[in-house]
């Protein structure tokens, strides 16, 4: 039998007194808010153009209108929702190869140059 005397405490039992405090935890909504904001930002993220794609469009005299840019963003969103990585986006007489993950147009081919062209390294196509 264990000898218990006043002031010694009980073996295996902590001292009686003020409760121990743990570091304050951030509210759980902070993580949910971050995920929501991140999802909104990614969904509305602009599509960028590589220097090569910009040069190809400029050489062809092609400028995308705000409406066409919106259609391009929507096309990239659709491709992303389906799990696409590299997508061919056909917009009228312009073909754009887009890195869906990076939301970047890699290259562009216009009108007459599209004919008899072979598009490789793509896993999807979106026609707008």
87 domain-assigned: yes
Q: Is the Cβ–Cβ distance between 50 and 103 less than 8 Å? A: no
16 domain-assigned: no
96 domain-assigned: yes
The number of domains in the chain is 1
Phi then psi for residue 61, to 5 deg, are: 70, 30
**Residue pLDDT tens, the chain, 128 long:** 555 566 555 566 656 665 666 666 655 566 777 777 766 666 557 999 999 999 999 999 999 999 999 999 999 999 999 999 999 999 999 999 999 999 999 999 998 888 878 899 999 999 99
Q: How many Å apart are CA 126 and CA 96, to the nearest integer?
A: 10
108 domain-assigned: yes
pTM of the entire predicted model: 0.65
* Domain with 91 in it: 46-127
């Amino acid at each position: 039998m264990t000898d218990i005397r006043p002031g010694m405490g009980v073996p295996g039992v902590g001292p009686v007194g003020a409760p121990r405090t743990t570091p304050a935890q951030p509210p759980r909504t902070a993580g949910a808010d971050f995920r929501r904001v991140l999802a909104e930002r990614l969904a509305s993220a602009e599509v960028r153009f590589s220097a090569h794609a910009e040069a190809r469009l400029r050489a062809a005299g092609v400028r995308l209108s705000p409406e066409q840019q919106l259609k391009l963003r929507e096309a990239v969103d659709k491709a992303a929702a389906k799990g696409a990585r590299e997508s061919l986006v056909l917009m009228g007489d312009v073909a754009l190869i887009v890195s869906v993950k990076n939301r970047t147009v890699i290259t562009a081919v216009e009108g007459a140059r599209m004919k008899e062209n072979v598009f490789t390294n793509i896993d999807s196509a979106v026609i707008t």
